[in-house]
Structure 1
Amino acid sequence: MGYRWRGMLAATALWAVAACAWAGQVEVLHWWTSGGESKSVEELKRLLASQGHTWRDFAVVGGGGDSAMSVLRARVLAGNPPAAAQIKGPAIQEWGRLNVLADLEEVATLQKWDAQLPRVVADVMKVNGRYVAVPVNVHRVNWLWINRDALLKTGLRVPNTWDEFFAVAEKMRQIGIVPVAHGGQSWQEFTTFESVVLGVGGAEFYRRAFVDLEPGALRSDTMSRSLQTFRRIKDYTDARAPGRDWNVATAMVIRGEAGMQFMGDWAKGEFLAAGKQPAKDFVCVSAPGTSRAYSFNVDSFAMFRLKDPAAIQAQKALAATIMRPEFQESFNLNKGSIPVGAGVRMDRFDLCAQESSAYFAATAMINTLVPSIAHLMAQPAGIEGAMREAVAAYWNNERMTTDETMTRLVAAAKPRLAKGIKP
């Protein structure tokens, strides 16, 4: 174990010692209520209990919807916040501007978070340069999942470019396989579009368009080519795609009814649950043109200001425990994502996770690690929603032109640009 992780364990031990005198309770808003996520929450509870602290669930079944955030806002404004809430991306900055988040610099310094996290991820966790949230995991969004037998039947190789992708798709169609499994829901379409833009334009263009919201990027020849490539993909989906859930689309690939799917690495969990093995039964490959880039989705807990000293100590212990190698490993093995901190051993992880971890580190070094626009890492919900609906409208309406779509994308960015706010 490296010196940095020994330091993290030592730091966590300090919180454990403090727990003897400051045993407290942490109330946590989350929506990890089933499957492997639930197992991971139980592990986090166990680790906190070993330090003398207790966990109180503020759990919301079915994901973090508007209702959950409304309840959270009401409690915060009433002066009764939970210790932590599952919040990610620019939403952390929005809560930070309300001056209600706790300062985690003491924990971050002891555990050397700046040395453990890529800067682009660390910056998401900070407000005014100070940590207020702790990351839990990393999902790679720009994956292409392929049924290996379906690919072998085409006689073609794994596609790395868009030309190669469409050649494989055409061959699959000719032999009676649905080339692309897709669920016709706006977030799935935006997820696919994100990978297309990253593949057509590259990381720097992606950053200009979706992080900086430059009108010159949102309305450009590169964006037009991205939209045209995106629309070509639809030709290789099936007529029953509208309304289909993502996991149902993944099941089509698992069974060999469909050949490929654009989806984040949560899709891998469906393959593994079906008893399928990477390289043997399915292929995980970077979406065409994105082999040197990585769009990330990071789950995190924002910590709220508390008054009770024991609760504050328990809150710090929670933040420190989340970054422990032991928890990072167990949580991500259950969830299908990868550890966010550097140095966690990956030998127990599957081949796709190992590849994802290697890409995560490499792209951070060459500055091609970018936040997912489709999964609320690049922009707040209002802007993401307007862009997502523009892209979905283009996908579903063949009469809508690329110019019209780009106009809508520029319009979606205007509220943030008018405020002069950087993500």
Structure 2
Amino acid sequence: MMKLSKLAAAAAFVMAGSAAIAGEVEVLHWWTSGGEAKSVGELKKIMQGKGHTWKDFAVAGGGGDAAMTVLKSRVVAGNPPAAAQIKGPGIQEWANEGVLANLDAVAKAEKWDSLLPGVVADVMKYKGNYVAAPVNVHRVNWMWANANVLKKAGVASAPKTWDEFFAAADKVKKAGLIAVAHGGQNWQDFTTFESVVLGVGGAKFYQDALVKLDQKALTSPTMTKSLETFRKIKSYTDPAAPGRDWNLATAMVIQEKAAFQFMGDWAKGEFTAAGKVPGKDYICAAAPGTGNAYTFNVDSFAMFKLKDAAAQKAQGDLAAAIMGPEFQEVFNLNKGSIPVRLGMKMDKFDDCAKLSSKDFVDTAKSGGLVPSIAHGMAVSPAAEGAIKDAVSQFWNDDKISVADGVKNIAKAATTK
């Protein structure tokens, strides 16, 4: 992240919120598509119900890259919004600049510590203080399958191990269909890779290798086996995969052209939009070997320091509303994710969401709940980018040996 100069950081301190109208809350986000925009509208309604003025600061496109550029210039100018959509280690980077507000008073009043799994709460804190409010949980380690394709190929149920998966993939291939729908973006390769590492090595190994970036784990025989498995999956994709968007890969599964896809639960939105029913038309299952684990991607809003008392009050109410049961339900029903707040009623949610919620709660207790490296939750953006590149180079170039693939990923993990 661009370092703020000490002078600019000091200016941000003094000037933040000086232009804020009493009770105004300005929110920077990039939720501009149908379901997301609808959800933001609900949050606006809740805030207006409390007498506050909502100021929408939506920056579309680029998964938030454009929004971050705008945010940096606003903070340097000493005029930050009340809240901005920031997640994972990015929260710590902003907090380190001294520009984020302390939300402990709201968190204590709303009992956040008992409503959030510790591993998620820690991502929202800086030096033990809450500085961000979480919105949702996306599970990343999903495997999606078309029920009809499996039936045609003579596959009785969703494979639970990698050996079972390759046996099923062979049957699909024999039936003249594509076994694995995959696209050409590096984050898709990385999404598949982290599920393979989790399935081959388990949650502790995943933590050591892809969260702690431990060199011993990164160069171990378990990582070698992970890369062998990863390469084998590629042999079941079709030649047209390079350059394909993720949703087009999902469409292949929906249209009975392919059997499986490894993708987070945003893929479910595509099935829903196509009128498909979980358990009947398609199967949602944890990726092979990962049934007792859960890679999470949590969207959140970091709150910036404001000077105006009315704006601070509005900001506190916003944080409380984000974590409130009303917004948690409506937002996640629209987004395809699940509430991050524990103990929520799930009766309005579909079977995939119910399974996700159950596994989220169970893995939070068992130690199987781990942050997704592919989706910006686990390591610094610099290390994440370098590892992602090394993983994609290995995926796209069959001439790179497994041994060299292991070396390249381990070296990438040292990027600061």
Instruction: Verify same fold: TM over 0.5.
Output: yes
Using the alignment, how far apart are the partners of 2:147 and 2:124 within structure 1?
38
Q: Distance in 1 between matches of 2:286 and 2:68?
A: 34
CA contact (8 A) 2:30 2:67 kept: no
Aligned to 1:413: 413
CA contact (8 A) 2:211 2:378 kept: yes
The secondary structure found in structure 2 opposite 1:292 is coil
Shift of 1:412: 2.1
Report deviation, 1:308.
1.1
Q: 1:334-373 alignment to 2 at 5 Å?
A: 334-373=334-373
Whether the 8 Å contact between 1:284 and 1:352 is mirrored in structure 2 is: yes
Q: Distance in 2 between matches of 1:406 and 1:232?
A: 15
| Corresponding residue number in structure 2 for 1:38 | 37
Gaps of 5+ in 1: 1-21, 417-423
Going from structure 1 to structure 2, the CA distance change for 1:64 and 1:306 (only over 3 Å counts) comes to farther
Q: 8 Å contact 1:47–1:321 — kept in the other structure?
A: yes
* Kept in 1: contact 2:59–2:66 (CA 8 A): no
TM-score, normalised via structure 1 length = 0.92
Unaligned runs of 5+ in 2: 1-20
The answer for the alignment partner of 1:128 in structure 2 is 127
Residue deviations 1:185-242 (CA, integer Å, cap 9, x gap): 1000000001000000000000001111100011111001001100001111101111
Show CA shifts across 1:131-154 (max 9, x none).
000000000000000000011112
The answer to whether the 8 A contact 1:88-1:377 is kept is: yes
Task: Indicate the larger mover: 379-388 or 83-92.
Answer: 379-388
Distance 1:89 1:364 in 2: 17
| Contact kept in structure 2, 1:247 and 1:270, CA below 8 Å | yes
| Residues 112/63 of structure 1: CA separation in 2 closer, same or farther (3 Å cut) | farther
Please list the CA deviations of residues 293-345 of structure 1 after superposition, one character each: whole Å capped at 9, or x if unmatched. Answer: 00000000000001111111111110000011010000000000000011111
Once residues 199 and 254 of structure 1 are traced to their aligned partners in structure 2, the CA distance between those partners, rounded to angstroms, is 25
Instruction: Please tell me the residue identity of whatever aligns with 1:149.
Output: N
In structure 2, distance between residues paired with 1:362 and 1:37: 28
How far apart are residue 410 of structure 1 and its match?
2.1
1:48 aligns with 2:47: yes
**Helix, strand or coil at the partner of 1:138:** strand
Kindly indicate whether the alpha-carbon contact (under 8 Å) linking 1:30 and 1:64 is maintained by their aligned counterparts in 2: no
Mapped partners of 1:66, 1:260: distance in 2: 30
CA-based RMSD: 1.0
1:23·1:52 contact (CA, 8 Å) conserved in 2? no
Answer yes or no: is the 8 Å Cα contact 2:182–2:244 preserved in 1.
yes
Alignment of 1:192 with 2:166, yes or no, is no
Distance of 1:406 and 1:69 partners within structure 2: 33
Contact 1:145/1:283 (8 A) holds in 2: yes
Mean alpha-carbon deviation: is it higher for 173-182 or for 71-80? 71-80
Task: Name the TM-score, length of structure 2 as normaliser.
Answer: 0.93
Aligned equivalent of 1:295: 295
Q: Deviations over 1:106-136 (max 9, x none)?
A: 0000011010001000000000000000000
1:25–1:314 contact (8 Å) kept in structure 2? yes
- In structure 2, the residue matched to 1:399 is 399
Paired with 1:176 and 1:26, the residues of 2 have a C-alpha distance of 56
State the match for 2:378 in structure 1.
Answer: 378
What is the correspondence of 1:18-417 to structure 2 with a 5 Å cutoff? 24-156=23-155, 157-416=157-416
Inter-partner Cα distance in structure 1 for 2:124 and 2:103: 10
* Counterpart residue type for residue 129 of structure 1: G
Alpha-carbon distance in 2 for matches of 1:409, 1:301 = 31
Does the aligned pair in 1 maintain the 2:382–2:415 contact within 8 Å?
Answer: no
Task: Look up the equivalent residue of 2:410 and give its one-letter code.
Answer: V
Is contact 2:323–2:341 with CA below 8 Å preserved after alignment?
Answer: yes
CA distance in 2, matches of 1:369, 1:78: 39
Alpha-carbon distance between aligned partners in 1 of 2:40 and 2:48, rounded to the nearest angstrom: 12
One-letter code aligned to 2:405: T
2 CA distance for matches of 1:159 and 1:408? 30
Aligned partner letter, 1:140: R
SS at structure 1 position matched to 2:239: coil
Supply the AA of the counterpart residue of 2:294. Y
What amino acid is aligned across from residue 185 of structure 1 in structure 2?
Q
* Further displaced range: 360-369 or 151-160: 151-160
Counterpart contact for 1:137–1:339, Cα < 8 Å: yes
CA contact (8 A) 2:22 2:308 kept: no
Letter in 2 for 1:117: L
Q: Between the two proteins, what is the percent identity of the paired residues?
A: 63
SS at match of 1:61: coil
CA shift, 1:403, in A, is 2.2
Distance in 2 separating the partners of 1:288 and 1:59: 38
Spell out, residue by residue over 1:265-313, the C-alpha distance to the aligned partner (whole angstroms, 9 max, x if none). Answer: 0000100110000000000001000000000000000000011111111
In 2, Cα distance between equivalents of 1:27 and 1:382: 29
The whole-number CA distance in structure 2 between the counterparts of 1:380 and 1:326 is 33
- Indicate conservation of the 8 Å contact 2:135/2:301, yes or no: yes
Matched residue SS, 1:296: strand
AA partner of residue 379 (structure 1):
V
CA distance in 1, matches of 2:185, 2:219: 24
How many residues align structurally? 395
What's 1:5 paired with?
Answer: none
Q: Does the aligned pair in 2 maintain the 1:105–1:130 contact within 8 Å?
A: yes
